[in-house]
Amino acid sequence: MSTVFIGGSINIKQLDDAVKKRLDTIMEKNFRILIGDANGMDLLAQQYLYEHHYTDVQVFCINKPRNNVGSWPLHITKNHKTRLTRDEIGRASCR
């Protein structure tokens, strides 16, 4: 199974058509999606995935989730790190 991480700027206010097309392709290929919980790109992508009834999504957050539109499984980091390492993301995707 392939896995993709989706993230981007909190300043993004709407999804570009090219991004929607890419998300459609990801869903068609049944990729596992790892995504953050921030406003902006994370939230917009979560909304798009939810609207398309996509379920293979895991949300990563620190302490408690700000956004989890689809009530997907959470991966909560309870320390003061501001970012997950690639190894941490990779371990979570193997669960």
- Please check whether residue 10 is in contact with residue 38, taking contact to mean a CB–CB distance below 8 angstroms: yes
Global confidence as pTM: 0.81
The whole-angstrom distance between residue 76's C-alpha and the CA centroid of its chain comes to: 13
Give the three-state DSSP class for 71: coil
Q: How many CA atoms lie within 13 A of 95 on its CB side?
A: 13
Could you tell me which residues come within 8 angstroms of residue 29 by beta carbon, excluding any fewer than 6 positions away? 2
Please state the rounded mean pLDDT for residues 82-88. 68
Six-digit token pair at 92? 């979570």
For 57-72, the pLDDT digits (tens) are 999 998 889 999 999 9
